[in-house]
Amino acid sequence: MVFQAINEKKQQLDAKSPLPAYTLKSLKEKLLLEWIYHSNAIEGNTLTLKETKVVLEGIAVGGKTIREHLEVINHREAIKYVEEIVTKDEPLSEWQIKNIHRLVSKGIDEEYAGVYRNQQVFISGAEHTPPEPFSLKEKMKQLTAWHEGEAQQLHPVERAAKLHAIFVGIHPFIDGNGRTSRLLLNLDLMKSGFPPIVIKAENRLAYYSALDKAHTTNDFQDFIQLVEQEVNHTLDLYLSAVN
């Protein structure tokens, strides 16, 4: 795949680095809020964007469940952890993936937080059936080995998209795989110097369809294109702020 527009925009952005401190801070805050809101909304969290902002400020929203509040707070903690991994420039490991999942699940599902599932699961509305529990350790080992090996030859956007898609196809945890996969997607993009992207809740149908196509036919093109669009969108946002 050719990612020419993305490469050119990233070069333009890199040339303007470091960005003005306040501009960078406000861009990061905007993306953090949207990332948390949309990633949770995809999974059925009913907090609005404004309500999500209020919860992040430490205020409870009436009529919403404790779980919905925790999903917001946990997501912020998981993003902080992802940012730490990026600054340390550590290779991807199962330990990191389990830690991300543990943070996402904290106080919601303590028994299975950061623990590979021991039961068969099915993804509602999808043709693809995730692998049986006994094969998970091997599949996750293969995923991290692929990521640190041959995947390093891929364009960063293609690699990040495939990491997300393969991980969510394995579905190693009972719950929280979607949020964890989008955290992994952004972890990989940020390691390569890209800003994080937001997969929007309103694109949920196209997102799920592209993932199911990747899992059932091994054709990742639709999903890679979907990620590519969002990378372009975020780069445009950053460039519009500094031009």
Q: Which is the catalytic residue, given 69, 164, 171, 215? A: 171
Tell me the pLDDT band of 243, cut-offs 50, 70 and 90.
Answer: confident
Report the pLDDT averaged over residues 35-54.
Answer: 98
Reply yes or no on whether the pLDDT at 1 is more than 90.
no
pTM exceeds cut of 0.85: yes
CA 227 to CA 54: how far, in whole Å?
28
CA 17 to CA 34: how far, in whole Å?
23
| Confidence (pLDDT) at 151 | 98
The domain containing residue 199 runs over which residues?
4-242
Please report, rounded to a whole number, the percentage of residues in the chain having pLDDT higher than 70.
100
> Which residue bears the tokens 């899992």?
215
For 147-168, what is each residue's pLDDT tens digit? 999 999 999 999 999 999 999 9
Please report, rounded to a whole number, the percentage of residues in the chain having pLDDT higher than 90.
96
Report the pLDDT averaged over residues 13-31.
Answer: 95
For 161-206, what is each residue's pLDDT tens digit? 999 999 999 999 999 999 999 999 999 999 999 999 999 999 999 9
Reply yes or no on whether the pLDDT at 84 is more than 70.
yes
Look at the chain and report how many structural domains it folds into: 1
For residue 172, cis peptide bond before it (omega within 30 degrees of 0): no
Q: Could you tell me the CATH number of the domain that includes residue 161? A: 1.10.3290.10
Residue type at 228 in one-letter notation:
E
Reply yes or no on whether the pLDDT at 2 is more than 80.
no
| Cβ(91)–Cβ(188) below 8 Å | no
Please, what is the average pLDDT of the chain?
Answer: 97
State residue 80 phi and psi, 5-degree precision: -60, -45
CA dihedral over 25, 46, 64, 77, signed as positive or negative: negative
Reply yes or no on whether the pLDDT at 120 is more than 80.
yes
> Is there a catalytic annotation at residue 171?
yes
Tell me the pLDDT band of 226, cut-offs 50, 70 and 90.
Answer: very high
